[in-house]
Chains A and B, each alone.
Chain A
């Protein structure tokens, strides 16, 4: 397929799935996550020689099964169902059905796969993982914490430096957990991008701690303001 045809197909897929993403802004997994993962996914596909049609489609569908009321619960199964429906509607997708489903089934870095993943699935997975790192990942984690009604941080060990992370109890414990994700990245390009993202996380955590000590980190809103300010600054510099 010509690049322009791939691009047109991606646009059709996005038109078909964007309504699934829109309400998930409420927990940080809205269209902006899809678009960032798509953009990075295509960069990885170009670097590795993966099929951009599959990678782009996988990126646009991977978290489409999330819901505003129950979030991640069961989302992979629902995303697979959405992908199956689209394969029935779009003959170009039907031809790559199995590999597309694999990209969705194994898009989460923590999930082990039964066999080495096809390169297209690696691209989607690494791209999603990268978006969970750095400022973008911290903001998604904080928004998910607000949605879930989770406490922001432990009262005496806010950055979880002396405890095992309690992911259900404290959002900042989840931010600490994000530190473990770069080791799950597969591709050299993603690993190299992760270094910058790790610096962002370290920078955020030091700023967070300083604000916390001065009593200025009272809730998720304060924590979100901090990360949003850094994101704005970063985009201005860029």
Chain B
């Protein structure tokens, strides 16, 4: 037993795979995802409060996703979204409610969503059905991609779902949703969606290399999550039917992380 050797959460190893494939540097990853030991979550609360004050000074708005991270879960971690100072009490309640559970760390990341900046997030599902390979994209504006999981008629965010056969093929837009209060027009939405897809297409080589790696596990489907803020695309997560199997093949990170 390696007493004293810090445990690297499985979720962090997933992020390191993104570093491995050149989507971002290890420094960028460390700057994007702020990590706190479970016993120091009060530092996380203090830092988010400070960031919210910073947003307010600059007349910006951001959302913050707080995740509780155990050693051995690759995804679907409990999380809490904060957009306003008034939600900080609820965040503390959330952290307290989970304090007896077996979490190693608490993390948070920040995404700008004010109207001064282009801000979208989405998920691409790569799948291989009887009809051939497809790429299904779901994207929303100014919100967390996790919200995609509850898309319905009254969805609060602009939303587009589209699919295409493979790299380089045009997307067929299957569904567009504009909330009643949206400032975007349908035309703007489709144009911004096209812009987002061009941003993704520019990273095609890296993405295709990562997909080729995941294809080697013979999964029928897997997904990548992304966000584009200003014109910067970031691949922020990936999911497969068996992440552990993928990570076992990447075991080099067990030593290097």
Within 8 A of A (CB), among B191-248: 217-223, 239-242, 245
Cβ–Cβ contact B220 & A27, under 8 A: yes
Q: What 5 A-B pairs have minimum CB-CB distances, sorted nearest first? A: A74-B76, A69-B223, A147-B220, A149-B218, A68-B221
* B251 CB, nearest partner CB in chain A, Å: 18
Interface centre among A25, A69, A89, A149 (most CB of B within 10 A): A69
Nearest B residue to A71, CB-CB? B241
Contacts of A148 on B, CB cut-off 8 Å?
219, 241-242
Among listed B19-27, B87-95, B148-156, B179-187, interface-contacting one: B148-156
Q: Does A46 sit at the interface, judged by CB under 8 A?
A: no
Given A16-B152, A26-B221, A88-B154, answer yes or no on A69-B239 (Cβ-Cβ < 8 Å): yes
A124 at the interface (CB under 8 A from B): no
Q: Could you list which residues of chain B lie within 8 angstroms of chain A, going by C-beta atoms?
A: 75-76, 125, 127-129, 136, 149-154, 161, 175, 217-223, 239-242, 245
| Residue of B128, B152, B175, B222 most packed against chain A (CB within 10 A) | B152
List the A side residues contacting B76 at CB < 8 Å: 70, 73-74, 77
Interface string of A74-97 (1 = CB under 8 A from B): 100110011011101100000000
B153 with A16: CB separation less than 8 A: yes
Q: How large is the interface on A (under 10, 10 to 19, 20 to 34, 35 or more residues)?
A: 20 to 34
| Least distance between A57 CB and chain B CB atoms (Å) | 14
**A interface, over-half SS:** helix
Q: Which of A68, A70, A82, A149 contacts B150 (CB 8 A)?
A: A82
Residues of B near A89 (CB, < 8 A) are 152-154
- In the complex, A67→B161 CA distance in Å? 15
C-alpha spacing A19/B177, complex, angstroms: 14
Q: How far is the CA of A23 from the CA of B242 in the complex (A)?
A: 18
Asked whether, in the complex, the Cβ of B149 is within 8 Å of the Cβ of A23, the reply is no
Residues of B within 8 A of A19 (CB): 151, 161, 175
Given contacts A85-B154, A86-B152, A88-B154, A68 and B219 within 8 Å (CB-CB): no
Minimum CB distance partner of B77 in chain A: A74
Question: Are the CB atoms of B150 and A85 closer together than 8 Å?
Answer: yes
Q: Which residue of B lies closest to A16 (CB)?
A: B152
Q: Which residues of B contact A146 (CB under 8 A)?
A: 220
Cβ of B107 to closest chain A Cβ, rounded Å: 18
Contacts of A41 in B (CB 8 A): none
Contact B150 A23 (CB under 8 A): no
Number of A-B contacts (CB under 8 A): 79
A65: interface (CB < 8 Å): yes
A149 to B221 Cα, complex, angstroms: 10
Q: Interface 1/0s, chain A 112-139, versus B by CB < 8 A?
A: 0000000000000000000000000000
Chain A to chain B contacts (Cβ below 8 Å), 12 pairs: A19-B161, A23-B136, A67-B239, A69-B127, A69-B222, A70-B223, A70-B241, A74-B75, A82-B152, A147-B219, A149-B219, A149-B241
- Residue of A23, A65, A81 touching B125 (CB-CB under 8 A): A23
Q: Which of A26, A27, A74, A88 has the most CB of B within 10 A?
A: A26
Extra 16 A-B pairs, beta carbons < 8 Å, given A68-B221, A88-B154: A19-B161, A26-B128, A26-B129, A67-B125, A68-B125, A70-B76, A81-B150, A82-B150, A89-B152, A89-B153, A146-B220, A147-B219, A149-B218, A149-B220, A149-B241, A149-B245
State whether A78 touches B149 (Cβ < 8 A).
Answer: yes
Q: Is the CB of A69 within 8 A of B240?
A: yes
Q: Which residues of B contact A69 (CB under 8 A)?
A: 125, 127, 221-223, 239-241
- Cα-based distance from A146 to B222 in the complex (angstroms): 13
With A149-B241, A149-B242 known to touch, is A70 a contact of B218 (CB < 8 Å)? no
Taken together as a complex, chains A and B put the C-alpha atoms of A19 and B149 apart, in Å, by 11
Expressed in whole angstroms, the Cα–Cα distance for A79 and B75 within the complex equals 17
A88 to B221, CA, bound (A): 32
Q: For B127, list chain A residues within 8 Å (CB).
A: 23, 26, 68-69
Interfacial chain A residues near B222, Cβ < 8 Å: 69
